[in-house]
Structure 1
Amino acid sequence: MDGGITAPTWVAESPEAIAFLFVGLLGGAHCLGMCGPLVSVYADRLSEREQTDSLTLFQVRQHALFNVGRALSYAALGATFALAGSLLFGAVDALSLFGTGVRGTMGLLVGSAIILTGVGYLVGRSSAMDRFTPAPVTRLFGRISGWATARVDRLVGGPRILGLGAIHGLLPCPIIYPAYLYAFATGAPVRSAALLGLLGLGTIPTLFLYGTLLGQVSARRRKTLHRALGASFLVLGYIPLSHGLMLLGVMVPHLHVPFYQPLG
Protein backbone atom coordinates (compact mmCIF):
# COMPACT_ATOMS: atom_id res chain seq x y z
CA MET A 1 0.00 0.00 0.00
CA ASP A 2 1.02 3.66 -0.33
CA GLY A 3 3.37 5.07 2.25
CA GLY A 4 4.86 1.71 3.13
CA ILE A 5 1.72 0.51 4.89
CA THR A 6 1.34 -3.26 4.65
CA ALA A 7 -1.94 -4.88 3.62
CA PRO A 8 -2.75 -6.30 7.11
CA THR A 9 -2.10 -2.88 8.69
CA TRP A 10 -4.28 -1.18 6.07
CA VAL A 11 -7.17 -3.55 6.82
CA ALA A 12 -6.79 -3.12 10.58
CA GLU A 13 -6.66 0.70 10.41
CA SER A 14 -9.15 1.35 7.59
CA PRO A 15 -12.84 1.55 8.59
CA GLU A 16 -13.97 0.98 5.01
CA ALA A 17 -11.73 -2.09 4.64
CA ILE A 18 -13.12 -3.55 7.87
CA ALA A 19 -16.68 -2.82 6.68
CA PHE A 20 -16.07 -4.47 3.29
CA LEU A 21 -14.53 -7.53 4.96
CA PHE A 22 -17.50 -7.87 7.30
CA VAL A 23 -19.94 -7.47 4.41
CA GLY A 24 -18.16 -10.34 2.68
CA LEU A 25 -18.02 -12.55 5.77
CA LEU A 26 -21.66 -11.93 6.65
CA GLY A 27 -22.87 -11.92 3.05
CA GLY A 28 -21.44 -15.35 2.28
CA ALA A 29 -24.67 -16.98 3.42
CA HIS A 30 -26.65 -14.70 1.11
CA CYS A 31 -24.34 -15.66 -1.76
CA LEU A 32 -25.59 -19.23 -1.43
CA GLY A 33 -28.87 -18.13 -2.98
CA MET A 34 -27.09 -17.07 -6.18
CA CYS A 35 -23.95 -19.19 -6.18
CA GLY A 36 -25.20 -22.22 -4.25
CA PRO A 37 -26.82 -24.08 -7.19
CA LEU A 38 -23.76 -23.73 -9.42
CA VAL A 39 -21.47 -24.60 -6.50
CA SER A 40 -23.52 -27.77 -5.97
CA VAL A 41 -23.27 -28.66 -9.67
CA TYR A 42 -19.50 -28.32 -9.91
CA ALA A 43 -18.98 -29.92 -6.48
CA ASP A 44 -20.94 -32.97 -7.67
CA ARG A 45 -18.88 -33.06 -10.87
CA LEU A 46 -15.66 -32.98 -8.86
CA SER A 47 -16.85 -35.89 -6.72
CA GLU A 48 -17.76 -37.86 -9.84
CA ARG A 49 -14.34 -37.22 -11.39
CA GLU A 50 -12.56 -38.33 -8.24
CA GLN A 51 -14.98 -41.26 -7.79
CA THR A 52 -15.05 -40.73 -4.05
CA ASP A 53 -17.30 -39.11 -1.47
CA SER A 54 -14.26 -38.07 0.59
CA LEU A 55 -12.75 -34.63 0.18
CA THR A 56 -9.48 -34.78 -1.75
CA LEU A 57 -6.64 -32.28 -2.09
CA PHE A 58 -7.57 -31.81 -5.75
CA GLN A 59 -11.13 -30.86 -4.82
CA VAL A 60 -9.88 -28.37 -2.23
CA ARG A 61 -7.66 -26.78 -4.88
CA GLN A 62 -10.53 -26.49 -7.37
CA HIS A 63 -12.86 -24.95 -4.82
CA ALA A 64 -10.12 -22.48 -3.89
CA LEU A 65 -9.55 -21.53 -7.55
CA PHE A 66 -13.28 -21.03 -8.08
CA ASN A 67 -13.55 -18.65 -5.13
CA VAL A 68 -10.37 -16.77 -6.01
CA GLY A 69 -11.85 -16.25 -9.48
CA ARG A 70 -14.91 -14.64 -7.89
CA ALA A 71 -12.78 -12.31 -5.77
CA LEU A 72 -10.67 -11.25 -8.76
CA SER A 73 -13.80 -10.56 -10.78
CA TYR A 74 -15.25 -8.36 -8.04
CA ALA A 75 -11.93 -6.50 -7.79
CA ALA A 76 -11.79 -5.85 -11.54
CA LEU A 77 -15.37 -4.58 -11.66
CA GLY A 78 -14.82 -2.45 -8.56
CA ALA A 79 -11.85 -0.80 -10.26
CA THR A 80 -13.96 -0.24 -13.41
CA PHE A 81 -16.75 1.48 -11.50
CA ALA A 82 -14.22 3.61 -9.61
CA LEU A 83 -12.55 4.61 -12.87
CA ALA A 84 -15.93 5.67 -14.26
CA GLY A 85 -16.49 7.78 -11.15
CA SER A 86 -13.06 9.33 -11.44
CA LEU A 87 -13.65 10.26 -15.08
CA LEU A 88 -17.04 11.79 -14.26
CA PHE A 89 -15.78 13.84 -11.34
CA GLY A 90 -12.70 14.92 -13.29
CA ALA A 91 -14.85 16.08 -16.21
CA VAL A 92 -17.17 18.00 -13.90
CA ASP A 93 -14.21 19.71 -12.21
CA ALA A 94 -12.71 20.67 -15.56
CA LEU A 95 -15.89 21.97 -17.20
CA SER A 96 -17.76 23.74 -14.42
CA LEU A 97 -17.60 25.38 -11.04
CA PHE A 98 -19.97 22.83 -9.50
CA GLY A 99 -17.55 19.94 -8.98
CA THR A 100 -17.81 20.03 -5.19
CA GLY A 101 -21.60 20.12 -5.37
CA VAL A 102 -21.70 17.19 -7.77
CA ARG A 103 -19.39 15.10 -5.58
CA GLY A 104 -21.37 16.04 -2.50
CA THR A 105 -24.67 15.11 -4.12
CA MET A 106 -23.21 11.83 -5.36
CA GLY A 107 -22.04 11.03 -1.82
CA LEU A 108 -25.55 11.66 -0.52
CA LEU A 109 -27.16 9.48 -3.19
CA VAL A 110 -24.70 6.61 -2.89
CA GLY A 111 -24.65 6.70 0.92
CA SER A 112 -28.45 6.78 1.09
CA ALA A 113 -28.75 3.85 -1.33
CA ILE A 114 -26.33 1.74 0.72
CA ILE A 115 -28.06 2.67 3.99
CA LEU A 116 -31.47 1.77 2.53
CA THR A 117 -30.02 -1.59 1.51
CA GLY A 118 -28.82 -2.07 5.09
CA VAL A 119 -32.26 -1.21 6.44
CA GLY A 120 -33.73 -3.74 4.01
CA TYR A 121 -31.54 -6.47 5.46
CA LEU A 122 -32.37 -5.43 9.02
CA VAL A 123 -36.14 -5.66 8.43
CA GLY A 124 -36.00 -8.75 6.22
CA ARG A 125 -36.63 -7.04 2.87
CA SER A 126 -33.28 -7.66 1.20
CA SER A 127 -34.90 -8.92 -1.99
CA ALA A 128 -36.17 -5.40 -2.72
CA MET A 129 -32.84 -4.55 -4.37
CA ASP A 130 -33.60 -7.08 -7.11
CA ARG A 131 -36.35 -4.77 -8.37
CA PHE A 132 -33.74 -2.28 -9.51
CA THR A 133 -32.34 -4.75 -12.05
CA PRO A 134 -33.97 -4.09 -15.47
CA ALA A 135 -35.68 -7.09 -17.08
CA PRO A 136 -33.29 -7.20 -20.09
CA VAL A 137 -30.32 -7.28 -17.72
CA THR A 138 -31.95 -10.08 -15.72
CA ARG A 139 -32.41 -12.09 -18.91
CA LEU A 140 -28.77 -11.48 -19.85
CA PHE A 141 -27.66 -12.67 -16.40
CA GLY A 142 -29.81 -15.76 -16.86
CA ARG A 143 -28.13 -16.58 -20.16
CA ILE A 144 -24.67 -16.10 -18.61
CA SER A 145 -25.55 -18.43 -15.74
CA GLY A 146 -27.00 -21.00 -18.15
CA TRP A 147 -23.87 -20.80 -20.33
CA ALA A 148 -21.67 -21.42 -17.29
CA THR A 149 -23.78 -24.32 -16.02
CA ALA A 150 -23.77 -25.99 -19.44
CA ARG A 151 -19.95 -25.88 -19.51
CA VAL A 152 -19.28 -27.04 -15.97
CA ASP A 153 -17.94 -30.40 -17.15
CA ARG A 154 -15.44 -28.65 -19.42
CA LEU A 155 -14.26 -26.12 -16.83
CA VAL A 156 -14.36 -27.98 -13.55
CA GLY A 157 -11.36 -30.28 -13.96
CA GLY A 158 -8.50 -27.80 -14.33
CA PRO A 159 -7.32 -24.22 -13.85
CA ARG A 160 -10.17 -22.94 -16.04
CA ILE A 161 -12.47 -23.28 -13.02
CA LEU A 162 -10.97 -19.89 -12.11
CA GLY A 163 -12.97 -18.45 -15.01
CA LEU A 164 -16.10 -20.22 -13.82
CA GLY A 165 -15.75 -18.34 -10.55
CA ALA A 166 -15.01 -15.06 -12.33
CA ILE A 167 -18.34 -15.27 -14.18
CA HIS A 168 -20.07 -14.63 -10.86
CA GLY A 169 -18.93 -11.02 -10.94
CA LEU A 170 -21.40 -10.59 -13.81
CA LEU A 171 -24.37 -12.07 -11.93
CA PRO A 172 -26.84 -9.91 -9.96
CA CYS A 173 -26.24 -9.77 -6.21
CA PRO A 174 -27.75 -7.35 -3.67
CA ILE A 175 -24.57 -7.28 -1.59
CA ILE A 176 -22.42 -6.35 -4.60
CA TYR A 177 -24.59 -3.54 -6.00
CA PRO A 178 -23.94 -1.20 -3.02
CA ALA A 179 -20.23 -2.09 -3.10
CA TYR A 180 -19.99 -1.07 -6.76
CA LEU A 181 -21.81 2.19 -5.97
CA TYR A 182 -19.32 2.86 -3.19
CA ALA A 183 -16.44 2.24 -5.59
CA PHE A 184 -17.97 4.67 -8.08
CA ALA A 185 -18.24 7.34 -5.37
CA THR A 186 -14.59 6.99 -4.34
CA GLY A 187 -13.19 7.49 -7.83
CA ALA A 188 -10.15 5.48 -6.70
CA PRO A 189 -9.65 2.39 -8.93
CA VAL A 190 -6.73 0.79 -7.05
CA ARG A 191 -8.29 1.20 -3.63
CA SER A 192 -11.68 0.04 -4.90
CA ALA A 193 -10.12 -3.06 -6.45
CA ALA A 194 -8.57 -3.88 -3.07
CA LEU A 195 -11.86 -3.29 -1.24
CA LEU A 196 -13.97 -5.37 -3.63
CA GLY A 197 -11.34 -8.10 -3.61
CA LEU A 198 -11.48 -8.05 0.18
CA LEU A 199 -15.26 -8.43 0.06
CA GLY A 200 -14.90 -11.36 -2.32
CA LEU A 201 -12.33 -13.02 -0.07
CA GLY A 202 -14.68 -12.52 2.87
CA THR A 203 -17.39 -14.60 1.17
CA ILE A 204 -15.04 -17.52 0.59
CA PRO A 205 -15.35 -19.33 3.96
CA THR A 206 -19.12 -19.84 3.64
CA LEU A 207 -19.10 -20.85 -0.03
CA PHE A 208 -16.03 -23.05 0.44
CA LEU A 209 -17.63 -24.91 3.35
CA TYR A 210 -20.90 -25.14 1.43
CA GLY A 211 -19.18 -26.73 -1.54
CA THR A 212 -17.09 -29.14 0.53
CA LEU A 213 -18.76 -29.92 3.85
CA LEU A 214 -21.95 -28.12 4.83
CA GLY A 215 -24.34 -28.39 1.92
CA GLN A 216 -26.73 -25.90 3.51
CA VAL A 217 -27.16 -23.02 5.95
CA SER A 218 -30.31 -22.98 8.09
CA ALA A 219 -32.91 -20.28 7.42
CA ARG A 220 -32.71 -19.11 11.02
CA ARG A 221 -28.95 -18.64 10.92
CA ARG A 222 -29.16 -16.92 7.55
CA LYS A 223 -31.70 -14.46 8.99
CA THR A 224 -29.33 -13.62 11.85
CA LEU A 225 -26.45 -13.11 9.42
CA HIS A 226 -28.62 -10.85 7.25
CA ARG A 227 -29.31 -8.57 10.21
CA ALA A 228 -25.61 -8.30 10.98
CA LEU A 229 -25.01 -7.66 7.28
CA GLY A 230 -27.55 -4.83 7.40
CA ALA A 231 -25.67 -3.20 10.28
CA SER A 232 -22.43 -3.39 8.27
CA PHE A 233 -24.14 -1.68 5.33
CA LEU A 234 -25.29 1.13 7.62
CA VAL A 235 -21.66 1.79 8.58
CA LEU A 236 -20.48 1.53 4.98
CA GLY A 237 -23.22 3.83 3.72
CA TYR A 238 -22.53 6.47 6.33
CA ILE A 239 -19.00 6.99 4.98
CA PRO A 240 -19.98 8.50 1.58
CA LEU A 241 -23.09 10.10 3.10
CA SER A 242 -21.07 12.01 5.71
CA HIS A 243 -18.46 13.06 3.15
CA GLY A 244 -21.22 14.26 0.83
CA LEU A 245 -22.79 16.34 3.60
CA MET A 246 -19.44 17.90 4.47
CA LEU A 247 -18.77 18.81 0.82
CA LEU A 248 -22.14 20.57 0.85
CA GLY A 249 -21.19 22.52 3.99
CA VAL A 250 -22.93 20.39 6.63
CA MET A 251 -20.42 19.41 9.30
CA VAL A 252 -21.13 15.95 10.74
CA PRO A 253 -19.03 13.34 12.56
CA HIS A 254 -17.16 11.36 9.93
CA LEU A 255 -14.61 8.63 9.40
CA HIS A 256 -11.31 9.71 7.85
CA VAL A 257 -11.48 7.98 4.48
CA PRO A 258 -9.86 9.59 1.39
CA PHE A 259 -12.60 10.12 -1.18
CA TYR A 260 -12.06 11.57 -4.64
CA GLN A 261 -10.56 15.05 -4.61
CA PRO A 262 -10.02 17.34 -7.61
CA LEU A 263 -6.50 17.68 -8.96
CA GLY A 264 -4.54 20.83 -8.36
Structure 2
Amino acid sequence: MTGFSLLPFFMIGLLGGLHCVGMCGGIVSAFTAVSKPARAFPIAVVGVNMTHSIAWDNVSRVFAYNAGRISSYAIAGAIVGSVAGSIHSLAGLASLQIAGYWLANLMLVVLGLYLMDVWRGLAHLEAFGHIIWRHIQPLMKHLLPIDNAGKAFALGGLWGWLPCGMVYSVLLTAMFTGSAVSGASVMLAFGLGTLPMMLGLGLIGSRLRVWSQQRAVRMACGALVLAFGVLGLMRASGMSAGYMDVFCISPPSMAAITPATSTPATLEFAR
Protein backbone atom coordinates (compact mmCIF):
# COMPACT_ATOMS: atom_id res chain seq x y z
CA MET A 1 0.00 0.00 0.00
CA THR A 2 1.21 3.54 -0.77
CA GLY A 3 1.44 6.28 1.81
CA PHE A 4 -1.29 8.17 -0.01
CA SER A 5 -3.74 5.28 0.23
CA LEU A 6 -3.15 5.11 3.99
CA LEU A 7 -4.33 8.70 4.49
CA PRO A 8 -7.98 7.74 5.19
CA PHE A 9 -6.92 5.48 8.06
CA PHE A 10 -4.75 8.22 9.56
CA MET A 11 -7.65 10.67 9.31
CA ILE A 12 -10.05 8.25 10.99
CA GLY A 13 -7.63 7.93 13.90
CA LEU A 14 -7.10 11.69 14.08
CA LEU A 15 -10.79 12.61 14.11
CA GLY A 16 -11.85 9.64 16.18
CA GLY A 17 -9.35 10.61 18.86
CA LEU A 18 -12.22 12.07 20.87
CA HIS A 19 -13.36 8.50 21.45
CA CYS A 20 -9.88 7.71 22.79
CA VAL A 21 -10.25 10.41 25.44
CA GLY A 22 -13.15 8.50 26.95
CA MET A 23 -11.66 5.04 26.48
CA CYS A 24 -8.07 5.71 27.56
CA GLY A 25 -8.31 8.89 29.61
CA GLY A 26 -8.20 7.14 32.96
CA ILE A 27 -5.13 5.04 32.29
CA VAL A 28 -3.18 7.90 30.73
CA SER A 29 -4.02 10.18 33.66
CA ALA A 30 -2.38 7.60 35.90
CA PHE A 31 1.01 8.58 34.49
CA THR A 32 0.90 11.93 36.25
CA ALA A 33 -0.44 10.29 39.40
CA VAL A 34 2.93 8.61 39.94
CA SER A 35 4.93 11.71 39.04
CA LYS A 36 5.83 12.42 42.66
CA PRO A 37 9.38 11.37 43.50
CA ALA A 38 9.40 7.71 44.52
CA ARG A 39 13.02 7.84 45.67
CA ALA A 40 15.29 10.23 47.49
CA PHE A 41 17.02 12.76 45.25
CA PRO A 42 20.44 14.23 45.98
CA ILE A 43 20.43 17.81 47.23
CA ALA A 44 21.92 18.95 43.90
CA VAL A 45 18.76 18.09 41.98
CA VAL A 46 16.22 19.50 44.39
CA GLY A 47 14.14 22.34 42.98
CA VAL A 48 14.20 23.11 39.26
CA ASN A 49 16.24 20.07 38.33
CA MET A 50 13.84 17.79 40.22
CA THR A 51 10.91 19.35 38.37
CA HIS A 52 12.61 18.76 35.04
CA SER A 53 13.33 15.16 35.99
CA ILE A 54 9.72 14.50 36.91
CA ALA A 55 8.50 16.18 33.72
CA TRP A 56 10.81 14.02 31.61
CA ASP A 57 9.61 10.88 33.39
CA ASN A 58 6.02 11.82 32.52
CA VAL A 59 6.87 12.46 28.87
CA SER A 60 8.82 9.22 28.52
CA ARG A 61 5.97 7.18 30.01
CA VAL A 62 3.38 8.84 27.76
CA PHE A 63 5.44 8.13 24.63
CA ALA A 64 6.21 4.58 25.73
CA TYR A 65 2.56 3.84 26.46
CA ASN A 66 1.50 5.06 23.00
CA ALA A 67 4.32 3.15 21.31
CA GLY A 68 3.07 -0.03 22.97
CA ARG A 69 -0.55 0.72 22.08
CA ILE A 70 0.20 1.40 18.41
CA SER A 71 2.43 -1.67 18.23
CA SER A 72 -0.47 -3.83 19.37
CA TYR A 73 -2.65 -2.30 16.63
CA ALA A 74 -0.01 -3.15 14.02
CA ILE A 75 0.31 -6.71 15.34
CA ALA A 76 -3.48 -7.16 15.19
CA GLY A 77 -3.50 -5.83 11.62
CA ALA A 78 -0.72 -8.21 10.61
CA ILE A 79 -2.58 -11.15 12.15
CA VAL A 80 -5.93 -10.52 10.46
CA GLY A 81 -4.25 -9.58 7.16
CA SER A 82 -2.18 -12.75 7.06
CA VAL A 83 -5.10 -14.96 8.07
CA ALA A 84 -7.28 -13.57 5.30
CA GLY A 85 -4.42 -13.73 2.81
CA SER A 86 -3.77 -17.37 3.61
CA ILE A 87 -7.30 -18.27 2.54
CA HIS A 88 -6.59 -18.38 -1.19
CA SER A 89 -10.24 -18.87 -2.09
CA LEU A 90 -11.08 -15.54 -0.47
CA ALA A 91 -9.93 -13.70 -3.58
CA GLY A 92 -12.76 -15.27 -5.51
CA LEU A 93 -15.42 -14.48 -2.94
CA ALA A 94 -16.25 -11.00 -4.20
CA SER A 95 -19.53 -10.90 -2.34
CA LEU A 96 -17.78 -11.60 0.98
CA GLN A 97 -15.21 -8.87 0.37
CA ILE A 98 -17.87 -6.34 -0.55
CA ALA A 99 -19.89 -7.29 2.54
CA GLY A 100 -16.83 -6.69 4.73
CA TYR A 101 -16.22 -3.35 3.04
CA TRP A 102 -19.83 -2.28 3.65
CA LEU A 103 -19.62 -3.36 7.28
CA ALA A 104 -16.39 -1.41 7.85
CA ASN A 105 -17.93 1.78 6.52
CA LEU A 106 -21.18 1.22 8.39
CA MET A 107 -19.14 1.07 11.57
CA LEU A 108 -17.64 4.44 10.65
CA VAL A 109 -21.16 5.81 10.33
CA VAL A 110 -21.92 4.42 13.79
CA LEU A 111 -18.71 5.96 15.16
CA GLY A 112 -19.66 9.34 13.68
CA LEU A 113 -23.08 9.17 15.32
CA TYR A 114 -21.43 8.19 18.62
CA LEU A 115 -19.03 11.12 18.53
CA MET A 116 -21.94 13.44 17.77
CA ASP A 117 -23.79 11.91 20.74
CA VAL A 118 -26.70 11.05 18.46
CA TRP A 119 -26.66 7.27 18.95
CA ARG A 120 -24.72 5.14 21.46
CA GLY A 121 -24.88 1.89 19.52
CA LEU A 122 -21.10 1.68 19.44
CA ALA A 123 -21.10 0.53 23.06
CA HIS A 124 -23.06 -2.58 22.05
CA LEU A 125 -20.56 -3.40 19.30
CA GLU A 126 -17.67 -3.14 21.73
CA ALA A 127 -19.27 -5.73 23.99
CA PHE A 128 -18.11 -8.50 21.64
CA GLY A 129 -14.47 -7.71 22.35
CA HIS A 130 -14.84 -8.32 26.08
CA ILE A 131 -14.43 -12.05 25.46
CA ILE A 132 -10.72 -11.52 24.71
CA TRP A 133 -10.33 -8.58 27.08
CA ARG A 134 -11.34 -10.70 30.09
CA HIS A 135 -8.19 -12.76 29.59
CA ILE A 136 -5.89 -9.78 29.01
CA GLN A 137 -7.05 -7.38 31.72
CA PRO A 138 -5.73 -9.40 34.71
CA LEU A 139 -2.19 -9.03 33.34
CA MET A 140 -2.33 -5.28 33.91
CA LYS A 141 -2.11 -5.57 37.69
CA HIS A 142 1.50 -6.75 37.34
CA LEU A 143 2.44 -3.44 35.68
CA LEU A 144 1.09 -1.10 38.34
CA PRO A 145 2.19 1.41 39.45
CA ILE A 146 3.30 2.80 36.08
CA ASP A 147 6.58 4.17 37.39
CA ASN A 148 8.86 3.63 34.38
CA ALA A 149 8.79 3.64 30.57
CA GLY A 150 9.12 -0.14 30.32
CA LYS A 151 5.94 -0.70 32.29
CA ALA A 152 4.18 2.02 30.30
CA PHE A 153 5.13 0.33 27.01
CA ALA A 154 3.91 -3.06 28.21
CA LEU A 155 0.70 -1.53 29.54
CA GLY A 156 0.11 0.21 26.21
CA GLY A 157 0.61 -3.10 24.44
CA LEU A 158 -2.10 -4.66 26.58
CA TRP A 159 -4.41 -1.65 26.42
CA GLY A 160 -4.33 -1.79 22.63
CA TRP A 161 -6.56 -4.85 22.85
CA LEU A 162 -9.25 -3.00 24.79
CA PRO A 163 -12.64 -3.49 23.05
CA CYS A 164 -13.10 -0.47 20.78
CA GLY A 165 -15.57 -0.13 17.93
CA MET A 166 -13.39 2.43 16.19
CA VAL A 167 -10.45 0.01 16.16
CA TYR A 168 -12.71 -2.80 14.96
CA SER A 169 -13.94 -0.79 11.96
CA VAL A 170 -10.39 -0.20 10.73
CA LEU A 171 -9.24 -3.71 11.68
CA LEU A 172 -12.01 -5.15 9.53
CA THR A 173 -10.63 -3.25 6.55
CA ALA A 174 -7.08 -4.34 7.40
CA MET A 175 -8.25 -7.94 7.17
CA PHE A 176 -9.28 -7.51 3.55
CA THR A 177 -5.92 -6.10 2.48
CA GLY A 178 -4.87 -9.72 2.06
CA SER A 179 -1.37 -9.61 3.58
CA ALA A 180 0.32 -9.19 6.94
CA VAL A 181 2.38 -6.18 5.78
CA SER A 182 -0.61 -4.30 4.35
CA GLY A 183 -2.76 -5.12 7.37
CA ALA A 184 -0.07 -3.87 9.74
CA SER A 185 0.40 -0.71 7.62
CA VAL A 186 -3.30 0.11 7.82
CA MET A 187 -3.38 -0.24 11.60
CA LEU A 188 -0.09 1.64 12.00
CA ALA A 189 -1.47 4.59 10.02
CA PHE A 190 -4.62 4.53 12.14
CA GLY A 191 -2.62 4.36 15.36
CA LEU A 192 -0.46 7.31 14.35
CA GLY A 193 -3.64 9.26 13.69
CA THR A 194 -4.72 8.75 17.30
CA LEU A 195 -1.32 9.85 18.57
CA PRO A 196 -1.83 13.65 18.74
CA MET A 197 -4.92 13.33 20.92
CA MET A 198 -3.35 10.71 23.16
CA LEU A 199 -0.11 12.63 23.59
CA GLY A 200 -2.07 15.74 24.46
CA LEU A 201 -4.16 13.76 26.92
CA GLY A 202 -1.06 12.49 28.65
CA LEU A 203 0.73 15.84 28.75
CA ILE A 204 -1.98 18.44 29.41
CA GLY A 205 -4.68 16.14 30.76
CA SER A 206 -7.79 17.87 32.07
CA ARG A 207 -7.58 20.86 29.73
CA LEU A 208 -7.79 18.58 26.70
CA ARG A 209 -10.63 16.65 28.30
CA VAL A 210 -12.65 19.83 28.72
CA TRP A 211 -12.00 20.89 25.12
CA SER A 212 -12.82 17.47 23.68
CA GLN A 213 -16.17 17.34 25.50
CA GLN A 214 -17.40 20.57 23.94
CA ARG A 215 -20.46 19.89 21.83
CA ALA A 216 -19.20 21.87 18.83
CA VAL A 217 -15.95 19.87 18.75
CA ARG A 218 -17.69 16.51 19.01
CA MET A 219 -20.27 17.45 16.39
CA ALA A 220 -17.61 18.60 13.91
CA CYS A 221 -15.38 15.55 14.31
CA GLY A 222 -18.33 13.17 14.34
CA ALA A 223 -19.77 14.71 11.18
CA LEU A 224 -16.47 14.26 9.34
CA VAL A 225 -16.15 10.62 10.40
CA LEU A 226 -19.76 10.09 9.37
CA ALA A 227 -18.97 11.63 5.98
CA PHE A 228 -16.06 9.21 5.51
CA GLY A 229 -18.40 6.29 6.15
CA VAL A 230 -21.03 7.62 3.75
CA LEU A 231 -18.44 8.17 1.01
CA GLY A 232 -17.21 4.63 1.55
CA LEU A 233 -20.74 3.28 1.21
CA MET A 234 -21.12 5.27 -2.02
CA ARG A 235 -18.05 3.53 -3.39
CA ALA A 236 -19.34 0.13 -2.30
CA SER A 237 -22.52 0.75 -4.25
CA GLY A 238 -20.52 1.46 -7.42
CA MET A 239 -20.58 5.25 -7.28
CA SER A 240 -17.47 7.38 -7.50
CA ALA A 241 -16.87 10.36 -5.26
CA GLY A 242 -14.20 11.79 -7.58
CA TYR A 243 -11.23 13.36 -5.82
CA MET A 244 -12.97 12.75 -2.47
CA ASP A 245 -12.19 9.03 -2.94
CA VAL A 246 -8.91 9.69 -1.16
CA PHE A 247 -10.83 10.03 2.11
CA CYS A 248 -12.65 6.70 1.76
CA ILE A 249 -11.62 3.50 3.48
CA SER A 250 -10.72 1.23 0.59
CA PRO A 251 -8.65 -1.94 0.89
CA PRO A 252 -6.36 -2.70 -2.07
CA SER A 253 -8.29 -5.87 -2.91
CA MET A 254 -11.29 -3.75 -3.83
CA ALA A 255 -9.68 -3.05 -7.20
CA ALA A 256 -10.43 -6.61 -8.22
CA ILE A 257 -14.06 -6.49 -7.16
CA THR A 258 -15.07 -2.91 -7.92
CA PRO A 259 -17.95 -2.89 -10.41
CA ALA A 260 -17.09 -2.19 -14.02
CA THR A 261 -18.93 1.11 -13.78
CA SER A 262 -16.23 2.51 -11.50
CA THR A 263 -14.03 5.19 -12.96
CA PRO A 264 -10.32 4.66 -13.70
CA ALA A 265 -9.47 7.07 -10.88
CA THR A 266 -11.33 4.88 -8.41
CA LEU A 267 -9.52 1.76 -9.56
CA GLU A 268 -6.16 3.48 -9.39
CA PHE A 269 -6.76 4.55 -5.78
CA ALA A 270 -7.99 1.09 -4.80
CA ARG A 271 -4.81 -0.47 -6.04
Q: TM-score range by the shorter chain?
A: 0.7 to 0.9
Q: Partner of 2:125 in structure 1?
A: 132
Match of 2:33 among 44, 54, 64: 44
Work out which structure has the larger RCO, using CA pairs closer than 8 Å and 6 or more positions apart in sequence.
Answer: 1
1: CA distance between counterparts of 2:181 and 2:194?
A: 20
Q: Partner of 1:7 in structure 2?
A: none
1:204 aligned onto 2:204: no
Q: Match of 1:256, SS? A: helix
Letter in 2 for 1:83: S
Q: TM-score, normalised by structure 1?
A: 0.76
1: CA distance between counterparts of 2:144 and 2:109?
A: 37
2: CA distance between counterparts of 1:241 and 1:126?
A: 27
Q: Partner of 1:152 in structure 2?
A: 144
Residues 242/151 of structure 1: CA separation in 2 closer, same or farther (3 Å cut): closer
Q: Partner of 2:257 in structure 1?
A: 247
Unmatched tracts of structure 2, length 5 or more: 40-49, 236-248
Match of 2:96 among 106, 118, 121: 106
2: CA distance between counterparts of 1:241 and 1:196?
A: 12
2: CA distance between counterparts of 1:218 and 1:140?
A: 29
2: CA distance between counterparts of 1:157 and 1:186?
A: 36
- Does the 8 Å CA contact 2:251/2:270 hold for their aligned counterparts? no
- CA positional deviation for 1:230: 2.4
- CA positional deviation for 1:56: 1.1
Q: Which 10-residue stretch deviates more, 239-248 or 33-42?
A: 239-248
- Does the 8 Å CA contact 1:82/1:184 hold for their aligned counterparts? yes
- CA positional deviation for 1:107: 2.4
How many residue pairs were aligned?
Answer: 237
- CA positional deviation for 1:208: 1.1
Q: Which 10-residue stretch deviates more, 227-236 or 183-192?
A: 227-236
CA deviations 1:240-260 (Å, max 9, x no partner) are 49965962754323242466x
Q: Partner of 2:22 in structure 1?
A: 33
Q: Partner of 1:218 in structure 2?
A: 213
- CA positional deviation for 1:127: 3.5
- Does the 8 Å CA contact 1:71/1:198 hold for their aligned counterparts? no
2: CA distance between counterparts of 1:61 and 1:23?
A: 26
- Does the 8 Å CA contact 1:245/1:251 hold for their aligned counterparts? no
Q: Partner of 2:85 in structure 1?
A: 86
- Does the 8 Å CA contact 1:120/1:126 hold for their aligned counterparts? yes
Residues 223/184 of structure 1: CA separation in 2 closer, same or farther (3 Å cut): same
Q: TM-score, normalised by structure 2?
A: 0.74
- CA positional deviation for 1:79: 0.7
Rg larger in 1 or in 2? Answer: 2
2: CA distance between counterparts of 1:232 and 1:47?
A: 43
- Does the 8 Å CA contact 1:112/1:241 hold for their aligned counterparts? no
Q: Partner of 1:60 in structure 2?
A: 59
1:178 aligned onto 2:169: yes
Q: Match of 1:116, SS? A: helix
Q: Partner of 1:166 in structure 2?
A: 157
2: CA distance between counterparts of 1:110 and 1:133?
A: 17
Q: Match of 1:21, SS? A: helix
Percent of pairs identical after alignment? 22
Residues 177/115 of structure 1: CA separation in 2 closer, same or farther (3 Å cut): same
2: CA distance between counterparts of 1:42 and 1:67?
A: 12
Q: Partner of 2:46 in structure 1?
A: none
Unmatched tracts of structure 1, length 5 or more: 2-9, 94-98, 260-264
Residues 61/234 of structure 1: CA separation in 2 closer, same or farther (3 Å cut): farther
